[in-house]
Amino acid sequence: MKNIQPAWLDKTLFPFESKWIEVGGESLHYIDEGKGDVILFAHGTPEWSFGYRDLIKGLRAKYRCIAVDMLGFGLSDKSPNADYTCQAHAARLEFIIRQLDLKNILIVANDFGGGIAMSYAIRHPENIRGIVLFNTWMWSLKDDKHYSGPAKAVNSWFGRMLYLTFNAPVNIIMPAAFGNKNLLTPHIHAHYKNALPTGQRTAAFAFAKELMNASDWWQSLWEKADVLKNKKILFFWGLKDKFVPVKELEKWKEKFPDAKTIAFEDAGHFVQEEKAEEMRGAIELF
């Protein structure tokens, strides 16, 4: 891909300078805004750095905010034959952290980005000053019918068609995942649709398959997570999320009983889209 911002990107919504970094022969897009202590944002599916735009607008006056588009998402390359496993995403994120020489990091992550970013935190706890997670998980989902049922459907010809042809994560799942659907305006929604055009949706489909395939990896991370118990941890949670329900928050709280929790009764899965101002204020206080 060419390292330029596309014409469909609204600069009033996303007023940041785009940067790219080569990782394993692939070009990954990221934004690096502000100065100060580092905040590293990690997204899930079908997201990209655009989802964190309002948080970054509010935090870049005091912090260095870095948000990477994972390979296959946003403005990063979308090679059809790349390795889109969670472990591969985690390895690329670690490479970028090293290349940019990021120190004393506060992680902000959701969805698949939670386990991916936490993989770095568990491997390098000395470089983590705090962790902010929302609507995510980091343990095996194999025995949970809430996830294994949909995952089985994904691994069919129909699931493949839904993801690769009809862009189901953007067109079907994303609207259903909002607590207040009015906040997903057609203009904002278009920035997710345009970022995953026809023929370039392999990464989103791969994440759907990783619900089961990455379970052993997540479980191995979960069993090592005690190395982070002395870190400051903050959980946000959208309680209207029917895809990653509140039972997962309870599991996080059991593991990290000293963590702070802020729940939103009227928000869904994409809390950063629905409650950016509240999140920004809480992160600053945190």
Domain 18-285 in CATH: superfamily?
A: Alpha/Beta hydrolase fold, catalytic domain (3.40.50.1820)
Query: pLDDT tens for residues 188-217?
Result: 999 999 999 999 999 999 999 999 999 999
The model's pLDDT over 35-76, given as tens digits with 9 standing for 90+, comes to 999 999 999 999 999 999 999 999 999 999 999 999 999 999
Mean per-residue pLDDT over the chain, rounded: 97
Q: Which residues contact 149 (CB under 8 A, 6 or more apart)?
A: none
pLDDT, residue 3, reads: 79
Domain ranges in the chain are 18-285
Answer yes or no: are the C-beta atoms of 208 and 166 closer than 8 Å. Answer: no
User: Per-residue pLDDT tens for 125-141?
Assistant: 999 999 999 999 999 99
Is the predicted pLDDT of residue 254 greater than 90, yes or no?
yes
Pairing of strands 26-33, 18-23: antiparallel
pLDDT tens-digit map of 162-182: 999 999 999 999 999 999 999
Q: Residue type at 168?
A: A
Does pLDDT of 279 surpass 70? yes
pLDDT at 94: 98
- As given in the structure block, the two tokens for residue 4 are 């330029």
**Reported confidence tier of residue 268, pLDDT bands at 50, 70, 90:** very high
Threshold 0.95, pTM exceeds: yes
pLDDT tens digits for range 66-102:
999 999 999 999 999 999 999 999 999 999 999 999 9
Q: What is the pLDDT of residue 2?
A: 60
